[in-house]
Amino acid sequence: MTLESKKLNVTDRIVGKIKNGELQFYLDNELVGRMPLNPSEQNVQLEPNFELNGNQFIQNYMSPNQDESRYTDCDEGGWC
């Protein structure tokens, strides 16, 4: 089995909370990024498996390749 890299747009599931002078971004209660509320420092810092594409939050993840058969060389009786 091989894994392939995939991307998922999770923008609609992101929730922002103001905490400790910054805007914190959450996906299902998991902190995924933050942005200082100071106008001179408004760059978004994201966790390694997240990225911004324009105004969309993208989650990067690994998924099994669906093209591979799980079992090979099986006989008609179902023995592999």
Predicted confidence (pLDDT) per residue in 5-32, tens digit = 999 999 999 999 999 989 999 999 999 9
Predicted confidence (pLDDT) per residue in 35-73, tens digit = 999 877 778 899 999 999 988 999 999 888 766 555 556
- Order of strands across the sheet with 22-27? 14-19, 22-27, 30-36, 45-46
Cα 9 from Cα 25, distance rounded (Å):
14
Backbone angles phi, psi at 14, to 5 degrees: -80, 135
Cα 74 from Cα 1, distance rounded (Å):
17
